[in-house]
Structure 1
Amino acid sequence: MTSWQPGSPGWWPRGGGDIFSPWFPDGSPQDLNPCLSRILFLLALLLTSAHGISSNLEECLVLQSPEGSTVSCHRVTKFPSPLPADTVHLSVEFSNLTELPARALERCQRLRELHLSSNRLQELSSGLLTPVSGLRVLDLTHNELRGLPLGLFRASAALHTLVLRANQLQNVSALWLWGLRSLEHLDLAENELRVLPDGLVLSLISLSTLDLGYNLLETLPTSLLMGPRRLQRLHLEGNRLRRLGFGMLALQPFLRVLFLNDNRLTEVVPSAFQSLRELDMLDLSNNSLSSTPPGLWASLGRPARDMQDGFDLSHNPWVCNEDLQDLYRWLRANKHKMFSKNDTRCEGPEALRGRRLLDVAELESL
């Protein structure tokens, strides 16, 4: 991959020289007389200005490769234009942009990745992505979006990764996501979501990672995970969940990683993990669990199967009495996969207050 050099195909003068020299993104040679070149250039400026786009590509780093151009722009004042027609990777980040021209991507029909993080975007045009039907990655992290327009993804059947982390979403609609059959990674973390609609990911049959962490969720609809066929990772950490019931997780028997830490869980029903035969990582740390019901752990870890990545039960107010006998047995069998052993301690009764939960579990076996 090499940067544009004077005389190379697609080179645009950065200063000095003939500023009216024609620019051809496809690198095809053209013989234009200076007068015609000047006219075409001025016409291009008029057209881009009419659409609210400035000709400021000189503020960006443009790299070429056989696969296409990579354009990287940081701290620009306006969306860059004109973009090379062979652009496959476009990054316009840390620029405080508040809006994008509706036709900003019209020239970039080969675009595969679009990174717009750390701007101040408040809304998007419903037709923004229509010209880039092959787009695979869209990163909108750290903007000010409160919603998405219906139809934004109507031409985005190839989209693989959608990141909406750290915006200002208070609600989310399943209709926004309808038709994203190739989507594998959806990140809605660090927003202001309080409730989720039934069937949120119903059309996302290829989804493997769903991140809903660090929102304001207190409950989850039973049908939340209906749709994906092989969800692998589920992030629910950093919410306000108080109870984990049966039904939602039963829809995803191939789930491997489950983060429930930093919630307010006081209850997990006995059958909550019943279908999770492939779970390799479970984080229940920093909740309000004092006990767990018999049968909860039967499908996890040994003797059923070894958890590959481990589990964390630390920073819960465990009451270490006979009600934890089922958990004690499970801990003894799976202690080799236990994280934060020194931070997993008894809150009560008073005689055991401060003792490590694992130590109490091992004493119970004597």
Structure 2
Amino acid sequence: MIFRLLLMCALTTCGVHACPHLCSCSFSPSGAEVECSDASMTYFPVDALPPNTTRLSIQSTQISTIQSAHLRAAPLLRTLQLYHNKLEKLPWDLLRNASQLTTLDLTGNHLVRLPAKVFKQKSLLKLLLKNNLLEEADADWFMDNSSLIQLDISGNHLSHIPSAFLHKLEHLQHLDLSHNNLIELHAGTLKNLHHLDTLNLARNKLSTLNPSLFKNTRKLSRLFLQENHLTELQPTLLSGLQHLQMLLLNQNRLQNLPQDLLDGKNSTFQMILTGNPWFCDEKMEYLWRWLNDHPHNVFFLDEVTCTGPEMLKNRQVVSLTENELSLARNV
């Protein structure tokens, strides 16, 4: 009788509910979810991985390698999270056996370079490479007409982005290049990103932006440019961005904003301007008028202050009078 019960268990629920050593598993009619977060784990948990696994999360382990054969054990996998492990490289055919994969999260590993074709997977929609050691970006990572809608390469060591890097990502909606070492972006870098909604360029070393950079990103609603080295912006930079809802320019080196830069923005538009060395002379008149006309569109308005000239130092820009600006014009 005991043998019969064990045999039935092996052929039915017990076999289905197997779970890899050092991992925890949860099961539902839609598939299994597996989480492995044991710091002592050194190998990819292939053994006993439920064949109906749809989500596999491996985090904060000692795993340093992964092969495409490892994913053969989970043909229904849709989400693969491999964050804060010890991965230093990826095989070019990593996703060969993951035809259903939509989300790949490689945050917090030790990746320096990636091979061509590594993300050539039609089903892939979200790719996170945040907080690695990547030194270069390569358009050959992706297939033509990639399905990606989210790409996060923030927190790496990128000093430049090749013009063609993003050209295959025509469906991209969210792009994060923040916390890198980018000095400039070529005019055509974003030209195929007609569906882009969010662009994060914060914490780079950008000192200027090409006036036609956002020419083809007319659906852009959130633009993060804070903590760069921007000294000036061209009047036409935001032309055509009628859907822009959020613009962050704080912690740059701007002394004024050019005429017409913010014209045409809707009533829900919000921005942050703090942490810039605003110089309150005649070139400040456009921003001064805009702030007074749209005080509810600016966060921390009382912290937008003059650094000069001396007579207006530390004054809130919005509090200035036209007469004071006229006097400053002659200083």
Q: Please report the TM-score for the alignment, with normalisation by the length of structure 1.
A: 0.82
Match of 1:110 in 2: 76
Bigger-Rg structure (1/2): 1
Matches within 5 A, 1:255-334: 255-299=220-264, 301=265, 305-308=266-269, 310-334=270-294
CA displacement at 1:261 relative to structure 2: 0.2
Secondary structure of the corresponding residue to residue 104 of structure 1:
helix
Deviation per CA, 1:99-120, whole angstroms, max 9, x where unpaired? Answer: 1134110121110000000011
Question: In structure 2, how many angstroms separate the alpha carbons of the residues matched to 1:251 and 1:321?
Answer: 34
Question: In structure 1, how many angstroms separate the alpha carbons of the residues matched to 2:119 and 2:144?
Answer: 8
CA 1:307/1:199 → structure 2, altered by over 3 Å: closer, same or farther?
A: farther
Task: Give the aligned residue type for 2:60.
Answer: F
Alignment counterpart, residue 136 of structure 1, candidates 78, 85, 102: 102
Q: Does the 8 Å CA contact 1:332/1:362 hold for their aligned counterparts?
A: no
1:146 aligns with 2:112: yes
Question: In structure 2, how many angstroms separate the alpha carbons of the residues matched to 1:328 and 1:65?
Answer: 59
Task: Give the aligned residue type for 2:278.
Answer: W
Match of 1:60 in 2: 23
Question: In structure 2, how many angstroms separate the alpha carbons of the residues matched to 1:364 and 1:255?
Answer: 37
Q: Does the 8 Å CA contact 2:218/2:241 hold for their aligned counterparts?
A: yes
Q: Does the 8 Å CA contact 2:68/2:93 hold for their aligned counterparts?
A: yes
Match of 1:122 in 2: 88
Question: In structure 1, how many angstroms separate the alpha carbons of the residues matched to 2:286 and 2:90?
Answer: 52
Match of 2:180 in 1: 215
Deviation per CA, 1:76-118, whole angstroms, max 9, x where unpaired? Answer: 2211022111110001111021111341101211100000000
Secondary structure of the corresponding residue to residue 235 of structure 2:
coil
Match of 2:54 in 1: 88
Deviation per CA, 1:218-264, whole angstroms, max 9, x where unpaired? Answer: 11111111222210000000000001221111111110000000001
Match of 1:69 in 2: 32
Aligned length: 315
Matches within 5 A, 1:172-251: 172-179=137-144, 181-251=146-216
Secondary structure of the corresponding residue to residue 114 of structure 1:
strand
Question: In structure 1, how many angstroms separate the alpha carbons of the residues matched to 2:29 and 2:322?
Answer: 62
Question: In structure 1, how many angstroms separate the alpha carbons of the residues matched to 2:98 and 2:34?
Answer: 16
Alignment counterpart, residue 312 of structure 2, candidates 326, 334, 352: 352
CA displacement at 1:343 relative to structure 2: 2.1
Question: In structure 2, how many angstroms separate the alpha carbons of the residues matched to 1:185 and 1:322?
Answer: 42
Structure 2: any 5+ residue segments left out of the alignment?
Answer: 1-7, 327-331
CA 1:339/1:253 → structure 2, altered by over 3 Å: closer, same or farther?
A: same
> Which stretch of the first structure deviates more once superposed, 184-193 or 140-149?
140-149
Secondary structure of the corresponding residue to residue 351 of structure 1:
helix
Question: In structure 1, how many angstroms separate the alpha carbons of the residues matched to 2:172 and 2:119?
Answer: 16
CA 1:152/1:361 → structure 2, altered by over 3 Å: closer, same or farther?
A: farther
1:167 aligns with 2:132: yes
Q: Does the 8 Å CA contact 2:68/2:96 hold for their aligned counterparts?
A: no
Secondary structure of the corresponding residue to residue 282 of structure 1:
strand
Task: Give the aligned residue type for 1:125.
Answer: P
Question: In structure 1, how many angstroms separate the alpha carbons of the residues matched to 2:61 and 2:145?
Answer: 28
Q: Does the 8 Å CA contact 1:329/1:361 hold for their aligned counterparts?
A: no
Q: Please report the TM-score for the alignment, with normalisation by the length of structure 2.
A: 0.90
CA 1:73/1:113 → structure 2, altered by over 3 Å: closer, same or farther?
A: same
CA 1:111/1:221 → structure 2, altered by over 3 Å: closer, same or farther?
A: same
Match of 1:337 in 2: 297
CA displacement at 1:171 relative to structure 2: 0.4
Q: Does the 8 Å CA contact 1:331/1:361 hold for their aligned counterparts?
A: no
Q: Does the 8 Å CA contact 2:185/2:210 hold for their aligned counterparts?
A: no
Task: Give the aligned residue type for 1:276.
Answer: L
Deviation per CA, 1:293-320, whole angstroms, max 9, x where unpaired? Answer: 2122223x3xxx2134x10010100001
CA displacement at 1:177 relative to structure 2: 2.1
Q: Identity rate of aligned residues, in percent?
A: 32
